[in-house]
Amino acid sequence: MKTQQFTVVDPQGIHARPASQLVAAATPFASTIELHTAGKVANLKSILNVMALALKQGSSFTLQVDGADEAQAFEAVTKLIVEAGLAK
């Protein structure tokens, strides 16, 4: 299992467009990919889950990837988060 903590830096938070990008990035992988924040858990392959977290600028979350292809999945998702300027 791989985990990393992030803080949202995008002033608009994780709104619809980045949420869609995250789901699209996570979906091809077999691993379980989750975001944990303030006692809530979202399946990163579920747009409804991710948007329901309503992550705002400044809120922190933990990315947790677990499964056979966790290394690749972790890399793909963290790369997107950082490159799109969503969180750091």
| Residues annotated as part of the active site | 15
Under rule CB under 8 A, residue 45 binds other proteins: yes
In the complex with other proteins, the residue whose CB is nearer, 27 or 60, is: 27
Kind of pairing, strands 60-66 and 2-7? Answer: antiparallel
The 49-88 contact track toward other proteins, x by CB under 8 A, reads: x-xx-x----------------------------------
- Min dist CB 46 to other proteins, Å, is 4
The beta-strand segments (E) located in 1-88 are 2-7, 32-37, 40-43, 60-66
Adjacent-strand bridge partners of 2: 65
Q: Residue 28 is encoded by which pair of tokens?
A: 């091809």
Positions touching other proteins (CB under 8 A) are: 12, 15-17, 20, 23-24, 27, 43, 45-49, 51-52, 54
